[in-house]
Chains A and B, each alone.
Chain A
Amino acid sequence: MYSLGIDIGSTTSKGALLADGNRIVATALRNAGIGTDGPEEVVKELLRASDLDEGQIGVTVSTGYGRTLYPEAHYRVSELTCHALGAHFIFPGIRTLIDIGGQDAKVISLDGAGRMSNFQMNDKCAAGTGRFLDVMAGILQLRAGDLAGEAALAESICPISSTCTVFAESEVISHLAQGVNRKDLVAGICESVATRTGSLAKRVGVTPPLAMSGGVALNEGVRGALSRYLGVEILFSPLAQFFGGLGAALYGYQTYNKEN
């Protein structure tokens, strides 16, 4: 049976298609989230890539902040539950997951069986999220995807406030005016996100193995800074951005089988 998970976030839509709850058939991503045609485009892409039609999909589950806006879904599940399921699917035995998305950050504890046992969300602020990185990249005339490469070339780390995106923006401009090396600034920006999220993780409690999910997980600069801050290795999968969609598909498969 095919199950489809669609993760509708603030800035992107991600989807995953699973066969029999254990084989990834396709994944798809569009840089268009809530209120756009991103979700529909992702589903089309999944069907195209898997050479399936809609009638062959047994169950569809939506997740993410836009989960209620996808009427075709059979089930709607919170993104924390789905990210935990997806992460456990890729990294069985994982005990802590840090998900940094476009507009928020979450830390999830899992028990030995992969069930969520605790979670914490950030406090309604863009600091420590993908949005923070986007704003900073904009000031530095970089793309968010270039930040990790730039940070890797830093000679030192220029500290940036992790309290507030608006304050940090002024701080970065001030550093630029003083002639601070852009690479050092980018390293500081990555460190700022890591510090913010790391303190959130410490509130929940960090038990290894620990993995990251969400778009910011792709940023090696943030991953490295977070690993140093928490003193643990961070597991990474190129599918990190699809954990939500994978978890949604998995939830659909498990729930469908239970109910039928």
Chain B
Amino acid sequence: MTNQEILSVLAEAAGNPKKQLHHHLSQGRKVVALAPVYAPEELIHSQGFVPMGAWGADLELQEAKAFFPAFICSITQSIVELGIRGAYEGIHAMVIPTLCDSLKVLTQNWKHAVPSIPLIVTSYPQNRGIPAAQDYLKSGFVQISEKLEELGGTPFSEEALAKSIDLYNRHRKAMRELSSTLGKHPRISARQRSDIFKSAHFMRKEDHLELVEGLIEGLSDQESGGLPHRKEDGPASRTRVITTGILADHPRLLNILDETGFHLVADDLAHESRQYRTDAPTGGAPLDALVERFCKQQHCSVLFDPGKGRASYLADLATRENARGVIYFMTKFCDPEEFDLVPVKRNCDAAGIPFLSIEVDRQMSNFSQARTALETFKEMIEQRRM
């Protein structure tokens, strides 16, 4: 396949999760949906399910309003809205972690609003650095495994889990490599980059890995990646930036990033690269490896970090990737991200890295202000060159 063909397949998958779900079901596969932010995907995969990400959708909230106050994360609200509307019909279970207050609320609302789809709650320890946290997490994973078996999954097997961990580690490595490769290819648009990452939540990891490896190979073959020039695009005219936040996948927002002339050279989005930073160790007991993986994850707003290492991580990432600025997509009413905003901005300011925060949510309809802010940010960065 050519790079363009691979990108088209990934865009199709990213834009049509329902089609992906129906495809999995038509193949006789069992599907489990995963709410943000982290889930033991390898475990679910090893017991014969296709894990599919459920990060909500951009839609007008109607039915979900009966279950939530107005001032709560619209990602969680849109998950319930989709559930009530029947978008998840056919899945075997919804896995919801309790990594933030909104997700905790989501677990209870899901039970009442969508009683037809079983709920699996994953409870994570806050202080992940102590042995008790690992014991607690392991017992939680055992409970999940038992529930999966009750729902028709194959019994837990260390051998199967080790194979799934190996697959997921290879996929994570490929996604990290791809992100690095995309930083050298300004012809890949923000929209295409988002499609690559978003499609990973909907496709089988086996299939996604194959396409990603093909894309990495294709992009390394030639400087242009065999891709057409983007409109008004001399590579030098694109401004290198990194993005951070929970998610930024609205096509109109991504189009504005492209039209304004940004090149996303790396990201720290929970929906994208944060999923792929940490591998599970191999060689030991596979369930312990999953536990260790979660406990080792760093620099994420929903994972307890008293030192707020994300702030210096981002400044270092921007420097390493030669980025000219940091764009913080602030999900409206997301407390963990609000808490991180201040240290991240302070660190960027101290490092002399231009910083922009833009509020986003799952119900954006007017993008004028976002466009003005992004255009101004680009102009501000360009002024510094003069």
**Complex Cα gap A123–B380 (Å):** 20
Which chain B residue lies CB-closest to A81? Answer: B379
Instruction: State which residues 176-197 of A face B: CB under 8 Å.
Output: none
For B386, what are the chain A residues with a Cβ–Cβ distance below 8 Å? 115
**Complex Cα gap A123–B375 (Å):** 17
For B380, what are the chain A residues with a Cβ–Cβ distance below 8 Å? 81, 115-117, 119
Q: Which of A77, A104, A117 sits near B379, CB closer than 8 Å? A: A77
Q: Using a CB–CB distance below 8 Å, which chain A residues touch chain B?
A: 65, 77-81, 104, 115-117, 119, 121, 123-124
Does A78 contact B375, Cβ atoms closer than 8 Å?
A: yes
Q: Which of B359, B366, B372, B384 sits near A79, CB closer than 8 Å? A: B372
Does B373 contact A121, Cβ atoms closer than 8 Å?
A: yes
Instruction: State which residues 362-386 of B face A: CB under 8 Å.
Output: 366, 368-369, 372-373, 375-376, 379-380, 383-384, 386
Size of the B side of the interface (Cβ < 8 Å), in residues, is 13
Does B379 contact A124, Cβ atoms closer than 8 Å?
A: no
A-B CB contact pairs (8 Å), 5 listed: A78-B376, A80-B372, A104-B369, A115-B383, A115-B384
CB distance from A105 to the nearest CB of B (A): 11
Contacts between chains A and B (CB distance < 8 A), count: 36
For B373, what are the chain A residues with a Cβ–Cβ distance below 8 Å? 119, 121
Which chain B residue lies CB-closest to A77? Answer: B379
Task: Known A115-B384, A116-B383; judge A81-B366 contact (CB<8 A).
Answer: no
Does B366 contact A78, Cβ atoms closer than 8 Å?
A: no
For A81, what are the chain B residues with a Cβ–Cβ distance below 8 Å? 376, 379-380, 383
For B369, what are the chain A residues with a Cβ–Cβ distance below 8 Å? 104, 121, 124
Does A80 contact B384, Cβ atoms closer than 8 Å?
A: no
Q: Which of B359, B368, B383 sits near A65, CB closer than 8 Å? A: B368
**Complex Cα gap A78–B368 (Å):** 11
Which chain B residue lies CB-closest to A116? Answer: B380
**Complex Cα gap A115–B379 (Å):** 10
Does B384 contact A123, Cβ atoms closer than 8 Å?
A: no
Does B383 contact A119, Cβ atoms closer than 8 Å?
A: no
Does A121 contact B372, Cβ atoms closer than 8 Å?
A: yes
Q: B233-251, CB under 8 A of A: which get 1 and which 0?
A: 0000000000000000000
**Complex Cα gap A235–B44 (Å):** 64
Which chain B residue lies CB-closest to A76? Answer: B375
